Amino acid sequence: MDTRLGDVIDDFCVKCRRLTNHSVVSLLNGSAAKVRCRTCYSDHDYRNEQAPPSKKDLKKAALFNAVLSGVAPAAAEEAEAAEPKKAAKKPGKRAEA
Percent of the chain exceeding pLDDT 70 equals 72
pLDDT computed for residue 54 by the predictor:
83
Is 90 exceeded by the pLDDT of residue 87?
no
- Asked if residue 23 lies in contact with residue 40, where contact means CB atoms within 8 angstroms, the answer is no
Q: Would you state the pLDDT for residue 97?
A: 53
pLDDT at position 44 is 92
Q: What are the pLDDT digits (tens) for 36-56? A: 999 999 999 998 888 888 888
> For the chain, what are the domain ranges?
8-45, 53-83
The whole-number pLDDT of residue 19 equals 92
- Indicate the pTM of the whole model: 0.56
Among candidate residues 4, 3, 1, 35, the one with its CA nearest the CA of residue 21:
35
